[in-house]
Amino acid sequence: GKVHHHKFVVKSTSFTRLCSSKNILTVNGQFPGPTLKAHRGDTLVVKVYNQANYNITLHWHGARQVRNPWSDGPEYITQCPIKPGNMFKQIIHLTTEEGTIWWHAHNGWARATVHGAVIIYPKRGHSYPFPKPHAEVPIILGEWWKEQVMEIPSVANITGGEPILSNAYTINGQPGYLYPYTFKMIVDYGKTYLLRIINAVMDEELFFAIANHKLTLVGKDGLYLKPIKTDYIMITPGQSMDILLEANQQHHGHYFMAARSYSSAFGAGFDNTTTTALLVYKNSHKHHKKSPILPNLPPYNNTQASTSFTKKFRSLATKTHPINVPKKVDTHLLFTFSVNLLNCTHDKPCTGPFGMRFAASVNNISLVHPDIDFLSAYYYKIPDVFEMDFPKIPKREFNYTAEKLPEYFLSTSFGTKVLVLEYDASVELILQGTNVLASDNHPVHLHGYSFYVVGWGFGNFDPKKDPKNYNLIDPPEETTVGVPKNGWVAIRFKANNPGMWLLHCHIERHASWGMNMVFLVKDGPNSQTQMLPPPKDLPKC
Ligand code: C2O
Ligand code: CU
């Protein structure tokens, strides 16, 4: 494959939105950041220069980084942050990815403005599993914040309360028709377009639709799906979707595309505004006097609309795009995902709800980052940085999704632990939502891997009944899966990528509260199945 060299300069840049100007963190002065394009089999070499006043790291969301966790990016997991004035070169081999993935900052809340698309075409000489589109358009769903986003986590940590909300959603950096900034996509009647949609929003799942137009979902997270024709999509933070759009409606001239929240948590604060962009047919000026039509989006609390869409996902499972789902499992894991409420303490006073503070956990452990990254600590055998006893199943079994849970479940403990997986283990992991404090849809993302979603359901996972209904024929392969509100998802993967790999909720307030855990996947038996050595310029703490 070809090697693509890129220079990413992270710096503060002034932008004007919502009628006022402010400095935001950008890459190369762009918001959203630059789109990278490559073919499957190519390599990206990105020199990341930090010219900002904050530490920074960059993550390649959806890239597998086979044997090379050193370029994965999450701060204090696989590297220490790049300090102001420094540079770090990241290398991403695109061996199995095909479709849309993306890159974003992976320290604090920097990803709110530091993000962009990565488009991966099929291998040279190969074609899409669908007719070649006339053109391709990245659609990045984002937000605009009047506050300084870099200050949000510390503010939320001090008060123990909810982090503030953004002031508007955006499409390709523009908030839409209520403001003088609207993204316009120009189309030719009769042509088909490939939209590469990314949800780069921090905290909200989104419904998205285009007035009068059907959408055909053909891929997700850089992996193909059997085509799904739909009126709307639901896309969680972290996910990317490839959508075919047939421009077959010119009589009105222009149409809105729009996105707004799907909010599964009862009572949790969310932004109920709608962001819009315009779909404009070329040569349709005679219609321009009519105001464009808004699409019908499901109501914000419509969990049924969300799941009736996501349950349709299926892998292609063809000769050219085969699946490789583990049929036998040797490592069974069950993780609970909970939002917790803790008492304020002397050293941690707080003013959250009921004078308490929020936390969030996986198997009732809230991840605390070490001062040196897990990966270096492991590689250089630095003692006492982390423990190896992250529990394979919850310490205490309970009715996870009961209406009312006893109060002691509200608590969590803090830990810097990893779960050790043997090389090539066949893993089944149940992601179990809970009703502790409040149930919510958790978009769970696993670094370093893609996995098969073999089953899902509402309520508690039943190890006797539910596996009987698993799909082992054409389960969708994903890297970020929405665990439904008060429900569960079963995923399977082969632990064949050695390294330290973060698993976390991609709702940033949950991640900030501790909803993260780390896998340590051991080296394989030979040099081809072992982790590569660290790069010379790896940032030091
Ligand atoms: Cu897109 Cu760990 O993140
Ligand atoms: Cu979550």
Q: For the residues of 372-423, what is the DSSP string, one character each?
A: S-HHHHHHTT-TTS-BS---SS-SS---TT-SS--GGGG--EEE-BEEEE-T
The residue ranges of the chain whose pLDDT is under 50 are: none
Is the CB of residue 461 less than 8 Å from the CB of residue 334? yes
Residue pointed to by tokens 């003692």: 383
Specify the pTM. Answer: 0.96
For residue range 4-46, list pLDDT tens digits in order. 999 999 999 999 998 889 999 999 999 999 999 999 999 999 9
Beta strands in 273-355 (DSSP E): 275-281, 331-343
**Of the ligands numbered here, which is closest to the C-alpha atom of 358?**
2
What's the gap in Å between 509 CA and the centre of ligand 1? 13
Q: Which of 257, 278, 313 is the last residue of a domain?
A: 313
Nearest-atom index, ligand 1, CA of 74: 2
Nearest-atom index, ligand 1, CA of 511: 2
Distant-in-sequence, close-in-space partners of 361: CB < 8 Å, separation ≥ 6: 336, 337, 338, 340, 412, 514, 515
Is the CB of residue 40 less than 8 Å from the CB of residue 120? yes
Beta strands in 252-299 (DSSP E): 254-262, 275-281
For residue range 438-463, list pLDDT tens digits in order. 778 899 999 999 999 999 999 999 99
The verdict on 119 and 133 lying in the same domain is no
The SS3 of residue 262 is strand
Residue 322 lies in a domain: no
Residue 424: Cβ-neighbour burial (10 angstroms; 0-12, 13-18, 19+) = middle
Residue 257 lies in a domain: yes
Q: Which of 71, 102, 126 is the last residue of a domain?
A: 126
Nearest to 193 by CA among 123, 248, 236: 248
The verdict on 243 and 188 lying in the same domain is yes
Nearest to 486 by CA among 303, 229, 270: 303
Is the CB of residue 460 less than 8 Å from the CB of residue 526? no
Kindly report the backbone phi and psi dihedral angles of residue 356, in degrees, each rounded to the nearest multiple of 5, phi listed first: -120, 180
CA atoms within 13 A on the CB side of 425: 19
**Of the ligands numbered here, which is closest to the C-alpha atom of 240?**
1
Amino acid at 418: V
The verdict on 276 and 348 lying in the same domain is no
Is the CB of residue 51 less than 8 Å from the CB of residue 11? yes
Is the CB of residue 220 less than 8 Å from the CB of residue 242? yes
Is the CB of residue 318 less than 8 Å from the CB of residue 226? no
The verdict on 251 and 368 lying in the same domain is no
What's the gap in Å between 72 CA and the centre of ligand 1? 10
Q: Which of 109, 126, 143 is the last residue of a domain?
A: 126
The verdict on 292 and 154 lying in the same domain is yes
Nearest CA to ligand 1 atom 3: 61
- Range of 440's domain? 331-529
Domain count across the chain: 3
The verdict on 114 and 139 lying in the same domain is no
**Of the ligands numbered here, which is closest to the C-alpha atom of 336?**
2
Residue 7 lies in a domain: yes
Tell me whether 0.85 is exceeded by the ipTM: yes
What is the C-alpha to C-alpha distance for residues 360 and 444, in angstroms, rounded to an integer?
13
pLDDT at 286: 65
Residue 538 lies in a domain: no
The verdict on 244 and 121 lying in the same domain is no
pLDDT at 269: 65
What's the gap in Å between 506 CA and the centre of ligand 1? 6
What's the gap in Å between 516 CA and the centre of ligand 2? 10
Pocket of ligand 1 (CB under 6 A): 59, 61, 74, 104, 106, 238, 445, 447, 502, 504, 506
What's the gap in Å between 340 CA and the centre of ligand 1? 22
The verdict on 166 and 212 lying in the same domain is yes
**Of the ligands numbered here, which is closest to the C-alpha atom of 503?**
1
Residue 394 lies in a domain: yes
Is the CB of residue 88 less than 8 Å from the CB of residue 539? yes
Cα–Cα distance list, 443 to 122, 180, 238 (Å): 27, 33, 8
What is the C-alpha to C-alpha distance for residues 224 and 85, in angstroms, rounded to an integer?
40
The SS3 of residue 467 is helix
The verdict on 366 and 379 lying in the same domain is yes
Residue 539 lies in a domain: no
The verdict on 306 and 214 lying in the same domain is yes
Residue 320 lies in a domain: no
The verdict on 525 and 455 lying in the same domain is yes
The verdict on 238 and 92 lying in the same domain is no
What's the gap in Å between 61 CA and the centre of ligand 1? 6
CATH number of the domain residue 159 falls in? 2.60.40.420
Q: Beta 184-187 vs 254-262: how paired, if at all?
A: unpaired
Residue 228: Cβ-neighbour burial (10 angstroms; 0-12, 13-18, 19+) = middle
As a three-state string, the secondary structure of 357-380 is EEEEEECCEEECCCCCCHHHHHHC
Residue 540 lies in a domain: no
What's the gap in Å between 531 CA and the centre of ligand 1? 21
